[in-house]
């Protein structure tokens, strides 16, 4: 059974960070849900990071993760496909529709990093979703893997988006975590 954790904060704020605040750290950093410390700058970006444990090894998880047409099997309310390129190299373009029936939004992306079986990163290029995303599949000692999903998003809708994000962020993180749990289970079949 997969387990998970998450953190979500305005991009550029790390708990306990002094002058290094705003710099993206490596694994293990704790991200706080507190507003960014700098008052001279409006929060226009937000970071979400969730992770789950999977019984399957990195090769199997990465294979299911990057089988783009199968995203509908594990990613909540989302269908994806390769829009250009091979879907397995930087520069390839992906399109994902998130919604119910015809109501939803299109998330267009470009693969910016491809390093199987550990990392696939994208740049979101759509009208609504902009920013970067990365999936990491890390081997666990003794077998299995840890799946990490991180997004650094430009908040849409200007001031309304900034005001609404604290309400939307927890639901978004919960949906990401649920999706990763489903990916972990699907990878173990």
Q: Under 8 Å CB-to-CB from 36, ≥6 apart: which residues? A: 10, 11, 12, 13, 21, 22, 43
pLDDT of residue 180: 98
For the chain, domain boundaries: 44-187
Q: Is 144 left (phi over 0), alpha (psi -120 to 50) or beta?
A: left
The percent of residues above 90 in pLDDT, for the chain, comes to: 63
Cis peptide before 109 (omega within 30 of 0): no
pLDDT beyond 80 at 14 = no
CATH of domain 44-187: 3.30.530.20
pLDDT bin (cut points 50, 70, 90) of residue 166 is: confident
Mean pLDDT to the nearest integer, 8-13: 38
What is the tens place of the pLDDT at every residue in 59-116?
A: 999 999 999 999 999 999 999 999 999 999 999 999 999 999 999 999 999 999 999 9
Between 77 and 128, the more confident residue is 77
Closest C-alpha among 5, 60, 53, 9 to residue 31: 9
pLDDT of residue 135: 99
pLDDT of residue 46: 87
Q: Is pTM beyond 0.85 here?
A: no
pLDDT beyond 80 at 12 = no
Burial category of 146 from C-beta neighbours within 10 Å (exposed 0-12, middle 13-18, buried 19 and up)? buried
């Amino acid at each position: 059974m997969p387990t998970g954790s998450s953190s979500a904060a305005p991009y550029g704020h790390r708990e306990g960070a002094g002058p290094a605040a705003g710099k993206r750290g490596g694994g293990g950093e704790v991200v706080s849900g507190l507003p960014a410390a700098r008052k001279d700058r409006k929060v226009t970006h937000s970071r979400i990071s969730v992770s789950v444990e999977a019984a399957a090894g990195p090769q199997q998880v990465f294979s299911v993760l990057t089988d783009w047409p199968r995203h509908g099997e594990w990613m909540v309310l989302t269908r994806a496909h390769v829009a250009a390129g091979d879907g397995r190299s930087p520069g390839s373009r992906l399109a994902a529709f998130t919604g119910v029936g015809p109501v939803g939004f299109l998330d267009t992306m470009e693969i910016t990093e491809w390093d199987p079986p550990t990392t696939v990163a994208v740049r979101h290029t759509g009208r609504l979703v902009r920013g970067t995303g990365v999936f990491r599949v890390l081997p666990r000692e003794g077998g299995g893997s840890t799946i990490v999903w991180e997004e650094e998003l430009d908040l849409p809708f200007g001031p309304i988006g900034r005001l609404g994000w604290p309400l939307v962020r927890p639901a978004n993180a919960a949906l990401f975590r649920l999706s990763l749990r489903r990916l972990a289970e699907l990878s173990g079949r």
